[in-house]
A = this chain, B = another copy of it.
Amino acid sequence: MYKVNKNFLKLPGSYLFSTIARKIREYQEAHPDEEVIRLGIGDVTQPLAPAIVDALHAAVDEMASAESFHGYAPDLGYEFLRELIAREDYQARGCDIAPDEIFVSDGAKCDSANIQELFSQDNRIAVCDPVYPVYVDSNVMAGRTGNYDPETGTWSDVIYMPCTEENGFVPELSPYDPDIIYLCFPNNPTGGVMTKDQLQRWVDYANKNSAVIIYDAAYEAYITEADIPHSIYECKGAQYCAIELRSFSKNAGFTGVRLAYTVVPKALGFYSSSIGNASLHDMWARRHGTKYNGAPYIIQKAGAAVYSDAGKAQLKEQVAYYMNNARIIKEGLTDAGYKCTGGVNAPYIWLKTPDGMTSWEFFDYLLDTAHVVGTPGSGFGPAGEGYFRLTAFGSKENTERAIERISKI
């Protein structure tokens, strides 16, 4: 008789964004004439840049003739893309990352969920609180998180590192000796950032304690200030302790196109007397080879166009467009008396709910009165309670109208 993975059944309720989608659907069914503006899910709205559209069309044409047709891609990604990534995203910033340390995939969500497979069940994970839910949920499914406490919304075996107003939304070095540390900066959901010095302290901490850092840099393209690192490999010694996740979703509008990559340095070794040397790089390569079949050729060609001169110029404009929305939201809300952070190096504005409302109360309030959708901070963890996330990924027109509506209530 087959037995199911009981860890799946421990997961409480449904995934945050599914719940939001249901609430919007129910609201719209009840109020078919109200126009709801969505500044909730971090989904882009601007069309693909012309350089990317051209690359997609050209790649589709290649697939239409036997001479230029491409079947199975290399599991780890095409060389043409891995070389561009290594050169443009790393070597150009002084990071010593080689093409064969880049693993191309179909999304940072998948990578951030799958990466935990490299580790044994008895590792203890640490996450920022609030946090992108996938880091925790994927570890729940793997049986690594202990028991869920519905009162606090936390797991007994997870180390939560509060990111609050007091610490500037940057976690303090954990006294609890975690094995695997998830960090996402610029942060989703708070929009907070770490300076290079702050991140260096985490790298030193991980190296000293033989911990591994899973560094999610999906939002690095939104950094506008100096001294904020775009990659963890800008820090000394990071190649010995850090895996970095990157995405084309936010810098190039690929949420519906699906392309990402993960960097696993060859120097990231693990040694124990019982098993000898184990290379996380080789293990991740083996995972790709066994469980993945490569990103589509036409999508990888679109990824390469991100690094063309035309692509770079067009995407710089696209990022600036969203960051102008961030400015509109932040200034508008501040003028309306709200307290908010983020929005300077990240496309997220993290808003303190007024009048002691809970996050979900504010969600319902905003949907009812302003017909604007955001994301309840408590959906990202207990320290997110009393906060609310708005994203800069709408159109300028909708963003302006949403802020106008919120200002009036």
Chain A positions near chain B (C-beta within 8 angstroms)? 1-6, 8-9, 11, 14-15, 18, 41, 43-48, 50, 53, 56-57, 60-61, 63-66, 69-73, 106-107, 109-110, 113-114, 117-120, 122-123, 133-134, 137-138, 141, 179-180, 209-212, 255-258, 270, 272, 275, 278, 280, 283, 286-287, 289-299, 395
Contact = CB atoms under 8 A, between A and B. Distances in A.
A259 to B, nearest CB: 9
B64 A287 contact: no
Contacts of A4: 118-120, 270, 275, 278, 280, 283
8 tightest Cβ-Cβ pairs between the two chains A and B: A113-B291, A1-B210, A43-B71, A2-B179, A71-B255, A70-B256, A3-B120, A53-B64
Nearest to A299: B296
Contacts of A11: 286, 290
Given A256-B70, A256-B72, A114 B2 contact: no
Contacts of A138: 290-291
A73 to B, nearest CB: 6
A144 to B, nearest CB: 11
A46 B69 contact: yes
Tallying the copies of this chain within the complex gives 2
B63 A256 contact: yes
Contacts of A289: 14-15, 18
22 contacts: A1-B211, A2-B119, A2-B212, A3-B179, A3-B272, A4-B283, A5-B118, A5-B119, A8-B287, A9-B283, A11-B290, A14-B286, A45-B69, A47-B64, A47-B65, A47-B66, A48-B69, A53-B61, A56-B298, A106-B293, A257-B296, A258-B296
A50 B275 CA distance: 53
Contact of A257 (B110, B278, B280, B298): B298
A106 B109 CA distance: 14
A13 to B, nearest CB: 10
B71 A63 contact: no
A365 B125 CA distance: 51
B5 A120 contact: yes
A211 B3 CA distance: 9
Contact of A63 (B48, B65, B114): B48
B66 A46 contact: yes
A292 B297 CA distance: 19
Contacts of A256: 63, 69-73, 294, 296-297
A46 B280 CA distance: 37
A257 to B, nearest CB: 5
Given A1-B179, A110-B292, A257-B296, A71 B53 contact: no
Contacts of A47: 63-66, 69
Contact of A2 (B5, B6, B210): B210
B210 A258 contact: no
A45 B71 CA distance: 7
A128 B311 CA distance: 49
B48 A64 contact: yes
Contacts of A278: 4, 8-9
A195 to B, nearest CB: 26
Contact of A293 (B3, B110, B297): B110
Residue among A48, A180, A256 with max Cβ neighbours from chain B (10 Å)? A256
Contact of A3 (B123, B137, B257): B123
A73 B107 CA distance: 12
Given A56-B60, A56-B298, 12 more contacts: A1-B179, A2-B179, A5-B119, A9-B275, A45-B71, A47-B63, A53-B64, A63-B257, A72-B255, A110-B293, A141-B287, A141-B290
B294 A258 contact: yes
Nearest to A55: B60
